[in-house]
Amino acid sequence: MRTNFQIQDFREINFEGRLIDLHNNFLFQGFHVDLANTRVTLFWLKSTGEWIMPSELEKVTIMHEGVDYFKVLPASQAMSDADSQTLSEVSFFPSNEREEDRRFMDQNLPGEDDDIIYSFIGNQVIRIGCQEATLLK
């Protein structure tokens, strides 16, 4: 997999030298699947917490192209909407270990055959195997 970003501390994306804290500063809005173009796009909007700097991006979009694997584990019923929108971890993980959806590796860049796993406080998991993941401003 190729990316234009790095993962730091399981919750932050380093994009063009800027740290984007997807856990504290953004709420997940959902995803769009484009089967014809083998593309999955995930969307976040800036949260409204008083700790968020005015200079923070208004939104974060990560587009996954050349998708050959896509899995969603639903959120727990007992979780609030805020929990289901709050990222807990993001990690690259080997595609040959797809039975392990709740384990994470501390690596900044993906290996050639890695998937990317997005895990949320509400226990939802999104796992994507693709050729390229691109953060769009």
**Neighbouring-strand partners of residue 135:** 62
pLDDT at 136: 95
pTM of the predicted model, to two decimals?
0.92
The pLDDT value recorded for residue 82 is: 65
The three-state (H, E, C) secondary structure of the chain, written as one string: CEECCEEECCCEEEECCEEEECCCCEEEEEEEEECCCCEEEEEEEECCCCCCCCCCCCEEEEEEECCCEEEEECCCCCCCHHHHHCEEEEEEEEHHHCCCCCCCCCCCCCCCCEEEEEEECCCCEEEEECCEEEEEC
User: What is the chain's pLDDT, residue by residue, as a tens digit (137 residues)?
Assistant: 999 999 999 989 999 999 999 999 999 999 999 999 999 999 999 999 899 999 899 999 999 999 999 999 988 776 656 667 999 999 999 999 888 887 777 888 999 999 999 999 988 999 999 999 999 97
